[in-house]
Chains A and B, each alone.
Chain A
């Protein structure tokens, strides 16, 4: 041992005393824009989709304002047509499709599997850049004159007759689609190859199962959309006829190709939300999921069967009666696994210890709204019924119940649930519950009257409408303003929480799942040591939760 005078070490700098997490480990802009950390990429996506969501929401607000009166007196018809196209295109491709997978999936999936990152981190970053390159093209199309084809780009209107920036928007969707494909590819390989020791397939959280199923759809369906939009654009740019009836081309072929992608696309949009549901319902009722295997297989079944039903978007387009019957039957079959999931979540509540924290309120909202949306899907699958309501507001109401009432609700639930892990802060709980309720009420007031409007016969994409439809349009627009408040509140309090929110512990909800075994926010490589998994997920105990609650007189506000 050294007997000379010990040299005093200088006082460690304050920053060094606090362990670095993935946010603080480097604060430069460059470190964010060139990151390969899946957690940072998730946050980059969050900012991006928020940007596109705002543009699309403004378009919706303008539409609902116009629709307060039957006459088309606020904007011109051309502008209105551009508004609903912008709303649809941006919401579908630049908000809904990436939302849960690219934000929450990117952040949480590797951690849930006990991995350090996704399989191909550089491709992950590339996917974000492709997504925004596509977004840039889309925003260009919006800013420099707009697009007026509807998000469905039906030919020959889109390829021959429209005078708007169709190609730029189609190119934007094309490029962003490759971002989607890379994300899906990454998730699939990560799930196959980067699971921690002991994490067998049937020990994975159900969020992983649903992301995996979503990713399979992403990689198989998106290329078809890409090629279809390319063919339409080629027809438009070079004046050649692929779908042009004057050359013997078939406009219905476009529809088949388009919906072959776009139906599975709706499952890309809802499956991740269902995955979040399984996480929330188990944690906030302190119970293992009822029917784990069935829920897991239901996700896979939805993914596969989702490829077989595209013709139900074309019951009145001129396809044969027999095609109509086949697609109707298959559409009913694909509804079965979704129904099974709802039953399983309900049974999970049985003998649980149920908390009504904000994430759970969103989960319960999802149960209500998705059930209604899904039930109306049964109406639409009845092909004779669909003939009447196809292309009316009934369809608009149906898909908004599923997309907004289902997917966005689940996204908000997941965002609130994982917010402490992502940011290290809690959001204000009471405001969170209030916003969830406002959103729920506003949503129903906005979209329920649209079912009635649709059955009455009000077609969609109508700038002006028959006077007898006004009362429901007014209700819908009133609801939309309430819904807007419901969305604004979280935006504000989430931002507030970044600086003033209560600091979050590693596991504020006392949830199971490997992502909660690391600090909040996590270190760059997630785990100091690779975890080893020894049992199934969701090992909650309702009895233990009750005992703790009774013992703890204060009663924790969350978890």
Chain B
């Protein structure tokens, strides 16, 4: 009979998490010895009827209390720092990551690669590359959980969340939805398939040779009428979008924001929220008119207008 104790360790972060686990296990073992050891000894030695010296003794209570307050506090601060280090690494995606979009809905994961390849409940990735997922939900809160990489991130409707990992072992690994999302929550599972880089390129080409996300986004940009105002309009004064992505934008309120995915999404769905300085609140809201997937395509297109998409950077770096 097999008694698995660890999921596969398929990334560096996984190894860091496992090391943290070992540290915690060690401290637990020591604590249990330090606490249960004397306890069992006392229970044995001082059990009723057993001869022992029970004369009340004046112990230095304050010193003892302070000692066993301070030592655990120090240990806990150490554990906090270790956990924080692992967390810092998990939560901050590297700048050169390959970006893939994920839309979760009851009860499936829809994945779209920037090249246009689409998959359901499966995520093909090349080994040894940083992968950054932009996660969106079409309905309720889900959570994208990859035990082999020891990472998860809740997928929240109304906003984007991100998760990154770097697989260093080829194989197929579990993908679980880990935030209860309704009837078939336990069926909202899938796999991450980590392939050698050439096999991945092969897979991309074979997959769905069609328009990239940015190209589809360009089509949508015209269909939804965005170009009517945002491209050389003589009637409406709308902020230009060339080179916008990643720039700092001054707002009417005097604050500054970075034009990232969340900003673009909010601008399309809640245009009155962050009005650009020097412009008026005229843009209609597209809430309810644009699906999550279309939103991601539009954003991919707008990003392509800045020539800063990681695809190109990554390609150049290679």
Contacts and interface: CB of A to CB of B under 8 A. Distances in A.
Given A355-B48, A455-B6, A463-B186, A385 B153 contact: no
Contacts of A367: 35, 39
Nearest to B61: A291
A36 interface: no
Given A346-B38, A382-B83, A459 B17 contact: no
Contacts of B176: 457, 459
B48 A384 contact: no
Interface string A454-494: 01110111111110100100000000000000000000000
Given A77-B186, A333-B76, A455-B21, A251 B38 contact: no
A387 B141 contact: no
Interface stretch (B119-127, B142-150, B199-207, B309-317): B142-150
B253 interface: no
A384 B159 contact: no
Contacts of B274: none
A456 B24 contact: no
B153 to A, nearest CB: 6
Contact of A549 (B4, B49, B180): B49
A151 to B, nearest CB: 10
Interface string B64-102: 110011001100110110111111111110000000000
Interface residues of B, number: 91
A350 B42 contact: yes
Contacts of A335: 72, 76
A551 to B, nearest CB: 12
A545 B48 contact: yes
A227 interface: no
B185 A452 contact: no
What is the interface residue range for chain A against chain B? 35 or more
Contact of B158 (A245, A349, A364): A245
A231 interface: no
B128 to A, nearest CB: 22
Interface string B294-313: 00000000000000000000
A149 B185 CA distance: 11
A207 B298 CA distance: 62
A461 B181 CA distance: 10
A351 B55 contact: yes
A318 B183 contact: no
B151 A464 contact: no
Nearest to A81: B183
B122 to A, nearest CB: 16
Contacts of A371: 31-32, 35-36
Interface in B169-202: 174, 176-187, 189
B47 A251 contact: no
Contacts of A333: 73, 76
A339 B57 CA distance: 24
A391 B179 contact: yes
Interface of B: 1-7, 16-17, 20-21, 24, 27-28, 31-32, 35-36, 38-39, 42-43, 46-49, 52-57, 59, 61, 64-65, 68-69, 72-73, 76-77, 79-80, 82-92, 106, 139-141, 143, 145, 147-148, 150-154, 156-159, 161, 174, 176-187, 189, 270, 273, 287-288
**Can you list the 8 inter-chain pairs with the closest CB atoms, starting with the nearest?**
A245-B158, A384-B86, A457-B147, A382-B83, A332-B76, A384-B87, A349-B42, A462-B186
Given A157-B182, A371-B36, A382-B24, 12 more contacts: A245-B157, A248-B158, A332-B79, A346-B39, A346-B42, A354-B42, A364-B43, A375-B32, A378-B28, A388-B150, A462-B186, A471-B3
12 contacts: A161-B182, A249-B158, A321-B87, A339-B68, A346-B39, A355-B48, A384-B17, A384-B86, A384-B89, A388-B150, A542-B46, A555-B48
